[in-house]
Amino acid sequence: MSLIDSELQDGLLEMESDQSTDGEPVTMTYGGADWPVSQNTIKRGSAYEVGGKVVLYDYAVRIRLNAQSIGGSQTFSEIEPPESGTTGRCLVTINDQQYRVEFVDTAHAAFLTLLLTTDAK
């Protein structure tokens, strides 16, 4: 892993800690496990243009690829990553709300940004 990837992951780990409520991190459920995430600073309920395509989303989160599952020993990079679309690999749960993954963006080898919609059909 490069120095920049390491620094990016350290920064996101700090953001996860800063965003925790009562010492509990914000988590998403995916692949049968709970994972710590940081809420993205991209404006909620907005549109994001990617390669000429506009992606509408309700919520955005970032997950470190080296994140450890809550109460487990698995790292996020060891499981099959989420993908955009409507299959099971496209659904995540945050705060008991199910979201469909509209777009997945990889930043270096450090983290994924997930743009999510509440239209989890």
Number of domains in the chain: 1
Residue 8, burial from CB neighbour count under 10 angstroms (0-12, 13-18, 19+): buried
Q: pLDDT tens digits, residue range 88-104?
A: 789 999 888 899 998 89
Coil, strand or helix: which one is 56? strand
Residue-wise pLDDT tens digits, 23-58: 777 889 999 999 999 887 655 667 777 777 888 888
Instruction: Give percent above pLDDT 90 in the chain.
Output: 27
Which residues form the domain of 94? Answer: 3-117
Start-to-end CA distance of the chain, whole Å, equals 36
- E strand residue ranges, the chain: 27-30, 33-36, 38-39, 46-50, 53-57, 59-64, 91-94, 97-107, 111-117
* Summary mean pLDDT of the chain: 82
